[in-house]
Chains A and B, each alone.
Chain A
C-alpha cells in the first residue's frame, strides 16, 4: 500500500485540493440535490477551515495533528481491496454485518442474509444508485464553523451503511457495522450512515471503528451517522471506537427523535491517538426519551472527547446522560454536554452526569456540563466529579488479599461496568464489557505512540 500524496501542508489543504479531482467519482454524481449539497458543504468548509480551539465547542480539543500531517481522502482505487482484516470486530452475534475498509464497502468481509420483510440493509453508494429518491432529505447538514468536519463529511462521503426499518418492523439481533482503516498512511475517509426507523420499529445498531492488527494506520476517519426515529420507534445505537494508536477519529451521530420514540446510545472510546465522538439529538415531538451513555478509557497520550448536545424542543421529553472516563498515562479526557430546553418544552426532565478517574500524575480531564434553559416547568440536573481511584475501595480489596494490580483492575471494571449496567443487560452489555476488558488486557507497551 503506497501512501497517498502528502504535497499539501495540512489536511484542510489536502481536501481543498482533492475535491475537484475526486468529486466526479463520488457516488450519486449527477443527482442535482446531492451535487448541490456537496458543493455547499465544501464551500462552507472552505470558508470556515478546520475547527480550532478558538471556537467554544472546540475549546478542549485541538486538531493540531491534522495540521501537522496532510491526511488526504483515499481515492476508491487506493482503498485496500484485500485488507488483512481482523474479522472479530463488532459483536459475535448479529443479524447482519457490513464491513467497510477505508470508507468503502467490502463485500468479502460482509454478511448480509435475507432479513424479514420491511428491513432494508444497504450501502450508501448502492442506495444512491438504486433508490436516489428515497435518499433525498435524509442527510443532515452543519451550521456554523464548529461543524466544519460535518461539512467535510458531506462533501466527501463515499460510502456507508443504510439501515431502514419500515413501520412496525422489529429486529432483535444487532446489525453490526464495522469500519476498518487499512495501512494507508495519512489516508482520510468519510463514511456516512443512515439509520431510519419507521413508527414503532425497533432495532440495534453497533458501529465499530477499528483497524487490522498490525496496520498501525495513521488514518483520519470522519464519520457521520444520521438517525431518524419515527413515532414510538426504539433504537439502541452503540459506537465502539477501538482504533490503533496513531489514528485520528471524529464522529457524529445526528439524531431526530419523534413523538414517544426512544433513543439509547452508548459511545465507547478505547483507541486512537485523538478521538471525538459527538452526539447531537433533537426531539421533534413530545414524550421522547434520549439515553446517552458512554465511557472513555485512555492511556499514553490519547485524547478522548465526548461531546453531546440534546435539544428539548417539545414537551415532556426525558434525557438521561452518564459518561465515565478512566485516564492513565498522559491521557486527556474531555466531556462536554449541553442540554438545551426551548421555550414551551414544559415537563422536560434532563439529568446529566460525568465522572472521570485520573490514574496517573500526568493524566488530565476537562468537563463542561452545560444547561441552557428557556422554560420554567422543568427538572434538570447535572453533576460532574473528577478524582483518583477510591483509596478506601483499593484498601478494602487489598485487605481481602488482592494484589494492587488486581484490585485496581477490578475497581476500574466496576466503575465502567456501572455505566454499561445502566444501559443494557443483554448481549450489547456483554459486548461492551468485553471491549473494556480488551482495553484492560492491552499491555501499555502495545499501545505506544
Chain B
C-alpha cells in the first residue's frame, strides 16, 4: 500500500511521553561555564583550527559583544532572560580526541544511544542507504558511507573536518548567506559553533542517497551551536535530513544553530528537519530553547531550495528557514508542520525574498496547538522591483485543540513589482465535532481520532518528507498531542 501507516504506528509508541528522554553515561570532556574571548580561543584550539578560522570566530565574538541587548524581542514568545555566562559552550565525548576512523572505533555507549534512538548506524548504512553524520552534543562522531560518496566527489563530513581538509570551500562560503552579524543568535553561533555538517555536491552530481545528520544534546547545562553548510554546485541535487533529540532535564538548554545553503545554477537542495528536542514537561519545566537561523540562497539560474520541517519538540522554537531567490527562475519552498502542546511556544515561518525575474515560491504551513501552548506562523514574502513575474502562493492553517491554546498568523507581504502575483490564504479552526464523531463512530478512540485528523491536516507537508522520515514524523505528531484530548 502506498499510504503510510498512522494509527498503528502511533499506538505502538504510546507507552512513552518522550521516548528520547534518556541520558547517556559518557566520559565527557567539558569546559567551564561562561563566555569570553579565551573560551572562543579554547574552542578553536580544541579543534586545531587554522588561524583564519579563529580570526573569524573572534570577529564574530566582537560583533556579538556589540549586539548585547539586541536579542530579538518581536516574536510571540516569552522566557526569562538568558544568562549567557551560565552556559557551557563546549562538551565532547572524551574519546573524540583520538578521532574515530570507523564505526568500530566509536564508544560503544554512543552506538547504544543511537540504537535507542532508532538509528542503528550500521543497519542504516547497510539497509537504508542513508548516510549519517551524527552530532553528539558538539562533535560529529561518525559519518557513514563516506567511501561511496567520495567516489562521486561528494563531500559529507563534520564541519571541523571540512575546515581542515577543504579550507578553500569553507572560507568561500562560510557566512556567505548568513553573515556573522545577521542576528544575535547567529552571531553567537559564529563565535562558538562547535561542529556540524559540511556538504559539497560537485557539478552535475545527483547525490544517490539521502544525507542525514542526527543532533543530540547530552551534557547538562551545555549549549549546542552546530553549524551546517551545504553547497550544491551547478546541476547537482541533494536531499539532506536532520533529526534532533535531547534528554529530559529540568533546566532550559540553548540550541542556537546556523544552517546555510547555497544552490548554484540548476542545482537543487532539499532540506528536511524533524525537530524533537525535549519540549519540557507537562508543567512547562525544562526543555530546549531552539533559536535557529536557517537560510538558503538560490545563487544561480533555476536553482531550487526546498525546506521541509516537522517541529514537535523544544520548549521554545524561533526559526524561519528562508530562501533568497537571487537568480532568474529560482524556486523556493517551505513546508512546515509545527505542533505545540502543554506550555510549548513556537514562533516559526519563513522568508521568501524574490530578487530576480520569474522566481517562484510556495509556502505551506500547518500549525497545531494544544494544551496551553502558543503557536505562531510568521512569514515574509517580498517581491523586489527587479523580480518581474514573480509568483508566491502561501497557505497557512492553524488547528486549535482545547480552549487554552493560541494559534496566530502574522504574514508580511511586500510587493514592489506590478507583474508579481502573490496569493495568501490562511485559516484557523478546531477539529470539528462532526469529524470526531465520524471517526469515533467507526471505532477509533479519541486520541487516535485526533492523531488521524491531524495527520490528514498536515498531509501536504508530510508528503514532502522522504518515506522513512514520514513514518517517524507521523508517530511524533501522535505522541506530541497525547493528553491533549479529554
CB of A363 closer than 8 Å to a CB of B: yes
CB of A180 closer than 8 Å to a CB of B: no
Chain A, 335-390, CB within 8 A of any chain B CB: 343-344, 346, 356, 358-388
Closest to A382 in B: B426
CB distance from B34 to the nearest CB of A (A): 33
Are B417 and A361 neighbours in the complex by a CB distance under 8 Å? yes
* B 326-340 binary contact with A (CB < 8 Å = 1; else 0): 000000000000000
CB of B403 closer than 8 Å to a CB of A: yes
CB of A88 closer than 8 Å to a CB of B: no
Are B419 and A378 neighbours in the complex by a CB distance under 8 Å? no
CB of A56 closer than 8 Å to a CB of B: yes
- Given A366-B412, A388-B418; A373-B406 close (CB under 8 Å): yes
A12 to B420, CA, bound (A): 38
Residues of the A chain whose Cβ atoms lie less than 8 Å from the Cβ of B417: 358, 361
CB of B202 closer than 8 Å to a CB of A: no
Are B428 and A373 neighbours in the complex by a CB distance under 8 Å? yes
Interface residues on B, range: 35 or more
Closest to B383 in A: A386
Are B424 and A376 neighbours in the complex by a CB distance under 8 Å? no
A387 to B407, CA, bound (A): 28
- Given A56-B74, A384-B413, A386-B415; A376-B430 close (CB under 8 Å): yes
Residues of the B chain whose Cβ atoms lie less than 8 Å from the Cβ of A374: 405-406
Residues of the B chain whose Cβ atoms lie less than 8 Å from the Cβ of A346: 403
A340 to B94, CA, bound (A): 52
Are A383 and B425 neighbours in the complex by a CB distance under 8 Å? yes
Are A384 and B411 neighbours in the complex by a CB distance under 8 Å? yes
* B 399-433 binary contact with A (CB < 8 Å = 1; else 0): 01111111111111111111111111111111000
* A 374-409 binary contact with B (CB < 8 Å = 1; else 0): 111111111111111000000000000000000000
* A 37-76 binary contact with B (CB < 8 Å = 1; else 0): 0000000000000000000100100000000000000000
Q: Is the interface of B mostly helix, strand, loop or mixed?
A: strand
Selected contact of B429 from candidates A361, A366, A380, CB within 8 Å: A380
Selected contact of A370 from candidates B411, B420, B423, B427, CB within 8 Å: B411
Are A384 and B422 neighbours in the complex by a CB distance under 8 Å? yes
CB of B306 closer than 8 Å to a CB of A: no
Residues of the A chain whose Cβ atoms lie less than 8 Å from the Cβ of B74: 56
Most buried by B among A361, A366, A374, A386: A386
A372 to B412, CA, bound (A): 14
Closest to B419 in A: A388
CB of B194 closer than 8 Å to a CB of A: no
CB distance from B115 to the nearest CB of A (A): 40
Closest to B76 in A: A372
Are B414 and A366 neighbours in the complex by a CB distance under 8 Å? yes
Most buried by A among B421, B423, B424, B429: B424
CB of B140 closer than 8 Å to a CB of A: no
Are B409 and A382 neighbours in the complex by a CB distance under 8 Å? yes
- Given A381-B426, A383-B426, A385-B424; A363-B418 close (CB under 8 Å): yes
Selected contact of A387 from candidates B409, B410, B421, CB within 8 Å: B421
Residues of the A chain whose Cβ atoms lie less than 8 Å from the Cβ of B414: 364-366
How many A residues touch B, CB cutoff 8 Å? Answer: 37
CB of B273 closer than 8 Å to a CB of A: no
Are B400 and A376 neighbours in the complex by a CB distance under 8 Å? yes
Closest to B406 in A: A374
A266 to B427, CA, bound (A): 24
CB of B360 closer than 8 Å to a CB of A: no
Are A360 and B418 neighbours in the complex by a CB distance under 8 Å? yes
Chain B, 22-67, CB within 8 A of any chain A CB: none
A61 to B421, CA, bound (A): 23
Are B406 and A372 neighbours in the complex by a CB distance under 8 Å? yes
Residues of the B chain whose Cβ atoms lie less than 8 Å from the Cβ of A372: 406, 408
Residues of the B chain whose Cβ atoms lie less than 8 Å from the Cβ of A363: 418
Closest to A348 in B: B428
CB distance from A303 to the nearest CB of B (A): 14
* B 378-395 binary contact with A (CB < 8 Å = 1; else 0): 000001010000000000
Are B415 and A358 neighbours in the complex by a CB distance under 8 Å? yes
CB distance from A366 to the nearest CB of B (A): 5
Residues of the B chain whose Cβ atoms lie less than 8 Å from the Cβ of A360: 418
Are A368 and B413 neighbours in the complex by a CB distance under 8 Å? yes
CB of B398 closer than 8 Å to a CB of A: yes
CB distance from B367 to the nearest CB of A (A): 10
Residues of the A chain whose Cβ atoms lie less than 8 Å from the Cβ of B429: 378-380
Selected contact of B404 from candidates A343, A366, A371, A386, CB within 8 Å: A343
A171 to B83, CA, bound (A): 63
Closest to A372 in B: B408
- Given A360-B418, A386-B420, A387-B422; A373-B411 close (CB under 8 Å): no
Closest to A60 in B: B414
- Given A361-B418, A372-B408, A388-B419; A367-B413 close (CB under 8 Å): yes
Are A376 and B403 neighbours in the complex by a CB distance under 8 Å? yes
Are B412 and A368 neighbours in the complex by a CB distance under 8 Å? yes
* A 86-119 binary contact with B (CB < 8 Å = 1; else 0): 0000000000000000000000000000000000
Are B420 and A387 neighbours in the complex by a CB distance under 8 Å? yes
Are B400 and A386 neighbours in the complex by a CB distance under 8 Å? no
Are A369 and B404 neighbours in the complex by a CB distance under 8 Å? no
Closest to B402 in A: A376
- Given A361-B417, A386-B413; A373-B426 close (CB under 8 Å): no
CB distance from A99 to the nearest CB of B (A): 39
Residues of the B chain whose Cβ atoms lie less than 8 Å from the Cβ of A359: 418
CB distance from B427 to the nearest CB of A (A): 5
Are B415 and A364 neighbours in the complex by a CB distance under 8 Å? yes
Closest to A351 in B: B427
Closest to B378 in A: A370
A374 to B402, CA, bound (A): 10
Are B415 and A356 neighbours in the complex by a CB distance under 8 Å? yes
Are A373 and B400 neighbours in the complex by a CB distance under 8 Å? yes
Residues of the A chain whose Cβ atoms lie less than 8 Å from the Cβ of B385: 361-362
Are B410 and A368 neighbours in the complex by a CB distance under 8 Å? yes
CB distance from B21 to the nearest CB of A (A): 29
A52 to B459, CA, bound (A): 42
Are B415 and A371 neighbours in the complex by a CB distance under 8 Å? no
- Given A378-B428, A385-B423; A365-B415 close (CB under 8 Å): yes
Are A371 and B420 neighbours in the complex by a CB distance under 8 Å? no
CB distance from A27 to the nearest CB of B (A): 41
CB distance from B311 to the nearest CB of A (A): 19
Residues of the A chain whose Cβ atoms lie less than 8 Å from the Cβ of B405: 374, 376
Residues of the A chain whose Cβ atoms lie less than 8 Å from the Cβ of B424: 367, 369, 382-385
Are B411 and A368 neighbours in the complex by a CB distance under 8 Å? yes
- Given A369-B426, A376-B430; A364-B406 close (CB under 8 Å): no
CB distance from B347 to the nearest CB of A (A): 12
- Given A371-B428, A384-B413; A378-B418 close (CB under 8 Å): no
A384 to B420, CA, bound (A): 13
* B 428-443 binary contact with A (CB < 8 Å = 1; else 0): 1110000000000000
A373 to B369, CA, bound (A): 11
21 CB contacts below 8 A, A to B, read: A346-B403, A356-B415, A358-B417, A358-B418, A358-B420, A361-B385, A366-B413, A366-B415, A369-B411, A369-B426, A370-B411, A371-B398, A374-B406, A375-B403, A377-B403, A378-B430, A382-B424, A385-B422, A385-B423, A388-B420, A388-B421
Using CB atoms and an 8 Å cutoff, list the residues of chain B in contact with chain A: 74, 383, 385, 398, 400-430
Known contacts A366-B414, A373-B406, A386-B415; 10 additional CB pairs below 8 A are A358-B418, A361-B385, A366-B413, A368-B412, A369-B411, A373-B407, A379-B428, A384-B424, A385-B423, A386-B383
Top 5 A-B pairs, shortest CB-CB distance: A358-B418, A376-B400, A376-B430, A386-B415, A371-B409
